Amino acid sequence: MESNFLVVFPFPLMLLTIITIFFSLTSSQPIDSKSDQDALLAFKRSIKNGALSNNWLTNTSICDWTGVSCGSKHGRVTSLNLTGFGLEGNLTPHLGNLTFLQSLDVSSNSLTGVLPAELSKLQRLQEINAASNNLSGEIPRSIFTNMSVLVEIDVSNNKLSGGLPGDMCSNTPKLRRLILRENQIYGNIPMSIDKCREMEELSLSTNRFNGNIPIGIGNLSMLTLLSMYENHLQGNIPSSIFNISSLESMYLFSNRLSGNIPSKLNNLPNLRELYLYENNLEGTFNNFEPSTLSIF
Ligand SMILES: *[C@@H]1O[C@H](CO)[C@@H](O)[C@H](O)[C@H]1NC(C)=O
Ligand SMILES: *[C@@H]1O[C@H](CO)[C@@H](O)[C@H](O)[C@H]1NC(C)=O
Ligand SMILES: *[C@@H]1O[C@H](CO)[C@@H](O)[C@H](O)[C@H]1NC(C)=O
Ligand SMILES: *[C@@H]1O[C@H](CO)[C@@H](O)[C@H](O)[C@H]1NC(C)=O
Ligand SMILES: *[C@@H]1O[C@H](CO)[C@@H](O)[C@H](O)[C@H]1NC(C)=O
Ligand SMILES: *[C@@H]1O[C@H](CO)[C@@H](O)[C@H](O)[C@H]1NC(C)=O
Ligand SMILES: *[C@@H]1O[C@H](CO)[C@@H](O)[C@H](O)[C@H]1NC(C)=O
């Protein structure tokens, strides 16, 4: 057998075959899922209170690790869900090496430090949920400008500060839920926010936003929730907002908004809650349409 093989495949060709096999082995899945494992182990090391110490052991496949899900074909990590795991520590930049990650949920832990900019390397990431932690610093600009399939960002109830980039939404056309509630984010709401045309829930409440509400928000025709209460917003409520027929809830209370509010809300058939108190607005509604609407 063996000598026949050698006759059919002369030595140089056989060497080439071996080299080819060697390279195809080293560049395929085992090595790539090794880099997923390295990234997860780096995250485990960055959790200081041992919340993962009895999990994520290297004698089992990463795809069997608690909170980890893999794609069935390639065995790469596609989702990480560690909500409510009692994690104390940081979000390591190594998470940016989980190339196939689509969903990251680390909400309701006690994570500190920053949201690493490396997350924006994840070009398949659709959902980032880091709500209810103690994260601080700015939300990296690249998260708002470089993640073309992102659908949801929820970083509510943290200690994030800084401003939003002036060109946000320029390359995140699929963003539907932007939940920044209860942080310390300041500055203007960027005009470019109207480029997130599929936005459904926009919650910027309990922050330090100032300036005017951008007129372009009236062009977000899929919006169901518009929440900007407890900020320092001023100027008029752009009248185009009262034309977003999909709107169900609008919370603008506790700002410095002024000007007149329209007396009829005929173009808001789905609106159920409208909170405008603690502003300097003028006018009264004389036509409650629909009658189920609550105005405060
Ligand atoms: C993996 O190792 C741990 C201890 O290090 C042991 O308790 C566990 O049973 C092992 N699991 C498997 C599947 O071998
Ligand atoms: C994570 O798991 C919890 C239940 O443990 C679930 O409610 C939540 O929706 C999951 N997150 C994602 C992004 O699927
Ligand atoms: C993973 O990411 C870290 C930090 O971003 C980097 O230093 C490291 O070289 C990466 N490792 C691999 C295996 O790609
Ligand atoms: C955040 O830190 C404060 C102390 O600075 C602490 O009281 C609070 O419980 C922490 N929150 C979480 C979710 O860890
Ligand atoms: C932006 O995305 C590209 C891939 O589309 C990636 O190579 C690059 O590292 C990302 N830039 C940042 C700053 O994350
Ligand atoms: C927003 O809508 C108005 C009409 O209501 C239109 O004139 C304007 O061009 C739209 N803006 C964008 C950026 O599409
Ligand atoms: C609101 O819509 C009505 C028609 O439904 C239109 O006449 C009006 O110009 C719109 N107003 C704004 C501010 O977009």
The response to whether residue 46 sits with its C-beta less than 6 Å from ligand 4 reads no
pLDDT score of 146: 85
List, for residues 59-68, the tens digit of each pLDDT value: 999 999 999 9
- 59 Cα–ligand 1 center, Å: 6
List, for residues 136-164, the tens digit of each pLDDT value: 999 999 999 889 999 999 999 999 999 99
Write down the mean pLDDT value for the chain. 88
The response to whether residue 17 sits with its C-beta less than 6 Å from ligand 7 reads no
Q: In ligand 2, which atom is closest to the CA atom of 129?
A: 13
Pairing of strands 136-138, 294-295: unpaired
d(CA 192, CA 111) in angstroms, rounded, equals: 31
pLDDT score of 291: 55
Domain 181-296 falls under CATH 3.40.1440.60? no
pLDDT at 253 over 70: yes
Q: In ligand 7, which atom is closest to the CA atom of 243?
A: 1
Q: Enumerate the domain spans of the chain.
A: 181-296
Q: In ligand 2, which atom is closest to the CA atom of 105?
A: 13
Mean pLDDT on 51-73: 93
Q: Which of 223, 240, 243 to mutate to test the pocket of ligand 7 (most atoms within 8 A of CB)?
A: 243
pLDDT at 23 over 60: no
Mean pLDDT on 196-219: 97
Looking at ligand 5, which residue's alpha carbon is closest to its atom 8? 121
- 28 Cα–ligand 6 center, Å: 49
Least confident of 82-96, 218-232, 280-294: 280-294
Q: Which of 193, 217, 219, 242 to mutate to test the pocket of ligand 6 (most atoms within 8 A of CB)?
A: 219
pLDDT at 290 over 70: no
Q: What is the pTM of this model?
A: 0.86
pLDDT score of 236: 95
